[in-house]
Structure 1
Amino acid sequence: MSDSVNVIVAELHTLRDYLRWATSRFQEEGLFYGHGADNAWDEAVLLVMPSLHLPWESSPDLLNARLTPSERRRLVEVIERRIRERVPAAYITGRAAFAGLEFIVNEHVLVPRSPLAETIAQEFQPWLQQYPLRILDLCTGSGCIGIACAATFTDAEVVLSDISPEAIAVAEQNITLHRLQDQVSAVESDLFANLQGERFDLIVSNPPYVNAEDLAAMPAEFHTEPALALGSGEDGLDFTRRLLREAADHLNPGGVLVVEVGNSWPALEAAFPDLGFTWLEFESGGHGVFVLTEEQLRLQREDLQ
């Protein structure tokens, strides 16, 4: 252990000490926050608490708890790794929160952060006209969106789909973590390739949608995430175009498609000006999520080809 680490471990003793020190170090090094936190203090909480096997929202009484020497050394290690490698806290702890639930994550999946958590909490109202008995989470990654849907619609069958076998492995871990094996399944598939003949009442997707220019300009933290899950061609819409062409064949009558396209929404509007997207608004922040019905997609099928 280096002399500098020895000094820190000798001088900092409580949970409060390490949260404060991490916050100062993050500020000093100019880290980027965009994976569950938007400031240095919250980032410190996301990193420090799971590293001590404590809930993120623990009692404030714990702040003055003294840490063991091994715990203090561990915190110095993870805090300095966050700075040195510019890797999101969730990849260091292996845990992330979404829609009030905890998920296993690693470098094969995006860190959960979609504004769709708010839409799930609202049960996709007022767009869903009937209780969804079958739900598909397309480009599922960790499975967070589909599993949150399963927790909301407890009588629904939920399918998680992703082109990445590594992502499917993470999603399956999260199915087990939440004990949803009887309700949720995972399928490796490029779009609908391995879902032929299957139809759903609700298809939700947070696909790759970052355009080439934005992808190149992203802070270092984002470049530790799988590029396959972020970039989608020059305008960010390569995958979404395919999805729009094929979705109607996999939605039941009255079904709904909900897709996040982020900053690529103006390009999508320009590409399909007559499609009639409904763009969602979020109280908690976020943008670029549209809703289309099965009827809209079916009637506009020719324009989508």
Structure 2
Amino acid sequence: MNTFEQAVEAAEKHLLKANLFYGHGMGDAYDEAVYAALYCAKLPVDEDIDWEAQYPSAAFLKLSELINARCQTKKPLAYLTREAYLHGYKFYVDERVIVPRSFIGELVLDGFAPWVNPDKVTDVLELCTGSGCLAIMAADTFHNAHIDAIDIDNAALEVAQLNVKDYNLSERISLIKSDLYQAIAHQAKQYDIIFSNPPYVNSESMSNLPSEYLAEPHIALAGGQDGMDLVRTIVNQAAPLLKPNGILVVEIGNEYAHANAAFKQLPLVWLDTSGADNAVFLLTRADLERL
């Protein structure tokens, strides 16, 4: 029988032999091996590992099968385990949604400080919700708020519904099928915060994506020639839906140059995150009214 350390070493060795990409919550082969070993042994991901403890034979067999599937399919590990973690939150995922990852997540958990007072936020809109992960985190942060979470894809909304139900937030999060603002454009309701992690990968980058990203829904990644197709609509149509002191926060990942070019007439405020200082921008309603 193997020790836990030996099980992880065997999994890591196997992963390293494959041409894999690690960009879905795991930094490298070692991280994936540790997570996979914990998952197969049915242990919490934050478990303090006893490296010399015996690793169960049944779990080792399951681990071998999981790692083989990861190497052969080159799918993100989250699709094989049907779970993903983001900032300590656990979510159900499958191929209907992208694997939760976001620069904007930590900003949500920080209540978008100092731009809003979390206690006074009552209405929040998320566009392109996918698995619903950020909407759930927003509901957890803004205790007095109702969250409207929009996605154009029925399949993604089905996954989001599973996660919203799992967190017992069905009364505080409304999942809405819409092409961005279309379903709500003529409502009287306005929001304290509109935020989005939309599809923003430019066409050149899309043509060079690793297999792991190609396993994800194309609709959730592709942002057009410069990555800004949906972002332009999000920015250009936001003002009427924001309260007078409302803010718009948009993640654009690696598309800093394209965002600056697309919105050179606007005073984009770039928000610092632990992953980057030029991946998320903020605009106030007053800024947007300049359009």
**What is the TM-score when the length of structure 2 is the normalising length?**
0.94
SS of residue paired to 2:207: helix
The equivalent of 2:284 in structure 1 is: 293
What aligned pairs does 1:98-247 form with structure 2 within 5 A after superposition?
Answer: 98-128=86-116, 131-196=120-185, 197=187, 198-247=189-238
Q: Alpha-carbon deviation of 1:225?
A: 0.6
Partner of 1:85: 73
**Is the CA contact 2:40–2:60 (under 8 Å) kept in the aligned structure 1?**
no
Q: Deviations over 1:222-253 (max 9, x none)?
A: 10010100001111111011111111121111
Give the distance between the partners of 1:64 and 1:30, measured in 2 at CA.
Answer: 31
Equivalent residue for 1:46, pick from 32, 35, 38: 35
The offset of 1:15, in angstroms, is 3.2
Q: Report the Cα offset of residue 106 of structure 1.
A: 0.7
Please list every run of 5 or more consecutive structure 1 residues that lacks an aligned counterpart in the other structure: 1-11
* Percent identity between the two aligned chains: 36
Structure 2: stretches of 5+ with no match in the other structure: none
Residue 72 of structure 1 deviates from its aligned partner by 2.4
Change (3 A) 1:177 1:278: same
| Counterpart contact for 2:78–2:94, Cα < 8 Å | yes
Q: Cα–Cα, structure 1 residues 284 and 210, in superposed 2: closer, same or farther, change >3 Å?
A: closer
Contact 1:46–1:89 under 8 Å retained in 2: no
Give the partner amino acid of 2:155: E
SS at match of 2:255: helix
What amino acid is aligned across from residue 215 of structure 2 in structure 1? T
Structure 1 pair 208–126 and aligned structure 2 pair: CA distance change class (3 A):
same
Q: TM-score, normalised by structure 1?
A: 0.90
Give 3-state SS (helix, strand or coil) of 2:260's partner.
helix
**Counterpart code for 2:38:** M
User: 2: CA distance between counterparts of 1:97 and 1:286?
Assistant: 22
What is the number of residues matched between the two proteins?
Answer: 288
User: What is the alpha-carbon distance in structure 1 between the residues aligned to residue 179 and residue 53 of structure 2?
Assistant: 50
SS of 1:60's equivalent?
A: coil
Amino acid corresponding to residue 90 of structure 2 in structure 1: E
RMSD: 1.6
Q: What code does the residue aligned with 1:257 have? A: L
**What does residue 277 of structure 1 align with?**
268
Write the letter of the residue equivalent to 1:212: S
Structure with the higher fraction of residues in helix conformation:
1
